[in-house]
Amino acid sequence: MIRTRADVARTALDVLTTEGPEALTHARVAEIARYSKTTLYAHWPSRVDLIAIALDALGEMPHHEPTGDIRVDLVGELKAFRQAVQDFRLDRVLSAMAQWATVEAMAQIREKVNTEGQRPIRALLERHFDGPRLEAAVSMLAGVVACPSLMFGTLPDDDMIEEAVDIVIVGAGGAPAVR
């Protein structure tokens, strides 16, 4: 069962990211993973179960090992996020989760996956920000990777990531310099 579970999870994630959410069906996963549909339905009765197990296959996202230097650590974490978007096609995973969020079980999975994903950046920023400024900074740094990816199918280069981190670090300093 452990072997089956791992096979099905990986296959479901592959189908989701390469063929799109509409292709993620019991029939398609059964065909590729070479299990019977009966087996799949027995363990994962609904489509939401298939999606949930696909997200399990994301496993532990790789993260940057903190050095204690806020700039180095934020840049490192954003580069790790960029790499994960590329390796795991997180842009498609995010889109699929957003699309299915009207299903309550799916909304909970999305909440968990995205909260976990944001945790390292939030932990770094919490040393310098709190309240709405913290929330803004977390979304802004997530956005520098997620927005080009979700809106244009591109990823930020190193310069863009470093500029974003500098903007946020300056923002920790205090009052606006330009009005």
Minimum CB distance to its own copies smaller for 38 or for 102: 102
> Residues near 62 by Cβ (< 8 Å), separated by ≥ 6?
80, 83, 84
Q: Which amino acid is at 137?
A: A
* From 10, 28, 63, 71, residue interacting with its own copies (rule: CB under 8 A): 71
Residues 6+ apart with CB under 8 A from 15: 23, 24, 28, 29, 32, 54
How far is C-alpha 60 from the chain's CA centre? 11
Question: Is residue 166 within the footprint of its own copies (CB under 8 A)?
Answer: yes
Check binding of 132 to its own copies (CB under 8 A).
yes
- Distance between CA atoms of 95 and 117, rounded to whole angstroms? 15
Q: 94, 109, 121, 124: which one contacts its own copies (CB under 8 A)?
A: 94
Identify which of residues 6 and 158 has a Cβ nearer to its own copies in the complex. Answer: 158
Residue 44, Ramachandran bin (φ over 0: left; ψ between -120 and 50: alpha; else beta): beta
Contact present, 61 and 112 (Cβ < 8 Å): no
The residues in 135-164 that bind its own copies, with binding defined as CB under 8 A, are 135-137, 139-144, 146-148, 150-153, 156-157, 159-164
Give the contact letters, 99-128, x = binds to its own copies (CB under 8 A), - = no. x-xx----x--xx--x---x---------x
User: For binding to its own copies (CB under 8 A), which residues are involved?
Assistant: 20-22, 69-71, 91-92, 94-96, 98-99, 101-102, 107, 110-111, 114, 118, 128, 131-133, 135-137, 139-144, 146-148, 150-153, 156-157, 159-164, 166-179
